[in-house]
Amino acid sequence: MTGLHRLYALTHSLYSGRARAYLIKQGITFQEFSTGHESFKAEVLPKGKLATIPTLVTPSGDVIRDGAAIIEHFESANGRPSQPQGACQQIISALFDVIGHDGLLRPAMHYRWNYPAENFQFVHHHFLYAQRDTPERAEKTEHMMNRMRQVTEVFGVPSNLSR
Residue 162 has pLDDT above 70, yes or no: no
Q: What's the CATH code of the domain at 29?
A: 3.40.30.10
Is residue 53 located within the same domain as residue 115? no
Is residue 12 located within the same domain as residue 73? yes
End residue of a domain, out of 77, 112, 137: 77
Res. 160 pLDDT band, cuts 50 70 90: low
Report if residue 48 sits inside a domain.
yes
pTM, 2 dp:
0.84
b/e sequence 85-119, b meaning 16+ C-beta within 10 Å: eeeeeeeeeeeeeeeeeeeebeeebbebbbeeeee
Residue 126 sits in which domain range? 104-154
Is residue 12 located within the same domain as residue 56? yes
Average pLDDT over residues 141-156: 90
Report if residue 52 sits inside a domain.
yes
Alpha helices in 42-154 (DSSP H): 45-48, 67-77, 87-98, 105-113, 116-129, 137-154
Is residue 15 located within the same domain as residue 71? yes
Q: How many domains does the chain have?
A: 2
Phi-psi region of 156 (alpha: psi -120 to 50; beta: other; left: phi over 0): left
pLDDT in tens, 40-92: 989 899 987 888 999 999 999 999 999 999 999 999 999 888 889 999 999 99
End residue of a domain, out of 77, 96, 119: 77
